[in-house]
Amino acid sequence: MDPRPPSRLPRGFRFDAIGDGQALLVDGRVVADIMPLDHGQCRACLNPLSFSIRYAHFDSMDAAIAYVTDWAIQWEARLRDGVHVPSAL
């Protein structure tokens, strides 16, 4: 189930369950994942299948999803092309 409104993510991007968390997929490829931690906190991993992995920590799943969504919107073209992108917004 996509936790964000479909119109917020670019076409072909979607969140899907992965373990206890969420993965952001682009045309079926995982480009980010979000995993729950203790006390309701979460860790987002950007570019998890690359050598340029970046992590960010958040106080809630909603905050992590919003960050990853904004990151994906900013880097949409490069993510579609399979190019690893920076984590900073």
- 2-28: per-residue pLDDT in tens? 454 445 899 899 999 999 999 999 988
User: What is the per-residue pLDDT for 7?
Assistant: 59
Name the band, by pLDDT with cuts 50, 70 and 90, for residue 1: very low
Task: Give dist(CA 87, CA 85) in Å, integer.
Answer: 7
pLDDT tens for 37-62 read 999 999 999 987 777 789 999 999 99
Q: From CA 84, how far away is CA 72, in angstroms rounded?
A: 11
Tell me what pLDDT residue 4 has: 45
Quick: pLDDT tens for 68-88.
Answer: 999 999 989 888 887 656 555
CA distance 43 to 60: 9
Q: Please give the pLDDT value at position 32.
A: 93
